[in-house]
Amino acid sequence: MPSPLPLNRLLHLEFSPSVDARPCSSPLVCPAKGEKFFGGESVSRIRRLPPHLAWCSIDWDQLCLLHLLGSGGFGSVYKATYHGATVAVKQVKRCSKNHLASRQSFWAELNVARLGHNNVVRIVAASACTPASQDSLGTIIMEYVGNCTLHHAIYGTGYFTGLKNDGLKCDHGFLSTAQAVGYSCDIAAGLMFLHSQLIVHLDLKPANVFITERNVCKIGDFGCSQKLEDTESSGLQFCHQGGTYTHRAPELLKGEKITPKADIYSFAITLWQMVTQQEPYLGERQYILYSVVAYHLRPSLTAAVFKGSATGQQLKTIIESCWRANGAERPSAQGLLYNLRALSVIV
């Protein structure tokens, strides 16, 4: 389908946040130059966390890396122990092509620092210090939630938040409608909490939702997130082009104001994936982006699962309400959770 308008009229250029959005240097005690960590490696850069994050400075003597879980464009994730507890350690990669984007990703991860919720991956500690042998912006210690994501549960593939590691396995691969509704309640509860803290995730998708051994979903990977209070206090509204294009709300593609309703749209695509076990779109990226904005393209709702039962029809109604083109018409996370819990009683 040819585009009647140039794509650059609709799709904004790369997200370029203000340097002041998240400071990369603030006075705080951190390991002195030459101090050893990660098996005897010295600290190569002296960077300091801002004062409001002083509580989460890393006690390096208590950190022991076990093995690499995987690596990707953002950096590497290790399984480790910290103060005797099993944790995950993320080292955010310094991208030579876009240093600002890498730095933004590191500080965005800390948007959920000091927050605790059963459906959100918890930050344990963080430091902007890096090992001398690695080109990293910083280190983040998180609770260990296993290596199984919702992407595993839907598609049964070896996938760990975008990391390249074919050895990872997960005992999932098929979701019943009841399971999909149960997981959806977990995700909506996590979103409700985040939005109450004025945090928008902006990259909600199956690969960023972890499933614990207790079968609880936790939202993770906050490298694209934003605090609404940051943009409001600065008087600036950034065009956001981070995240995954298949799950990105149309208002973000048009460079409009970021609101929590962008996460509700991403949730709709994620729920559709859980129910259908299919990929949302096929075709070229630019064609999909343009069609989502100009022609309200959405994944198909013609599958039998949406027609065969009252539950399927209610799921269809929920999905349609969550991916409406006008964000103001989408339900809040609280309203969404209410509807999903009501549905879970009858599934």
pLDDT tens digits, 318-343: 999 999 999 999 999 999 999 999 99
Quote the pLDDT of residue 170. Answer: 56
Contact yes or no for 306/313 (Cβ under 8 A): yes
Which residues pair with residue 85 across a beta bridge?
Answer: 82
Q: Per residue, what are the HEC states of the chain?
A: CCCCCCHHHCCCCCCCCCCCCCCCCCCCCCCCCCCEECCCEEECCCCCCCHHHHHHECCHHHEEEEEEEEEECCEEEEEEEECCEEEEEEEEECCCCCHHHHHHHHHHHHHHCCCCECCECCEEEEECCCECCCCEEEEEEEECCCCCEHHHHHHCCCCECCECCCCCCCCCCCCCHHHHHHHHHHHHHHHHHHHHCCEECCCCCHHHEEECCCCCEEECCCCCCEEHHHHHHHCCCCCCCCCCHHHCCHHHHCCCCCCCHHHHHHHHHHHHHHHHCCCCCCCCHHHHHHHHHHCCCCCCCCCHHHCCCHHHHHHHHHHHHHCCCCHHHCCCHHHHHHHHHHHHHHC
227-254 residue pLDDT tens = 998 666 555 454 455 679 999 999 999 9
Which position has the higher pLDDT, 237 or 198? 198
263 is catalytic: no
**Percentage of the chain exceeding pLDDT 70:** 72
Q: Please, which residues have CB within 8 angstroms of residue 146's CB and are 6 or more apart in sequence?
A: 210, 211, 212, 213
**Residues whose CB is less than 8 angstroms from the CB of residue 13 and which lie 6 or more positions away in sequence, other chains included:** 239, 241
A 10 A CB-CB count for 63 gives: 21
Interacting residues of 208 by C-beta distance below 8 A, sequence separation 6+: 149, 161, 201, 219, 220, 221
Out of 20, 59, 61, 203, pick the active-site residue.
203
pLDDT at 76: 87
Q: What is the pLDDT of residue 301?
A: 97
Q: Rounded to whole angstroms, how far apart are CA atoms 144 and 141?
A: 9
How many other CB atoms are found less than 10 A from the CB of residue 326? 9
Q: Which residues pair with 127 in a beta bridge?
A: 139
Binding-site sequence positions for ATP: 90
pLDDT in tens, 150-168: 999 999 864 433 333 333 4
Output the average pLDDT for the chain.
80
pLDDT in tens, 76-130: 899 999 999 999 999 887 765 667 777 888 889 999 998 999 999 999 999 887 6
Task: Report yes or no: 10 and 297 within 8 Å, Cβ to Cβ.
Answer: no
pTM: 0.81
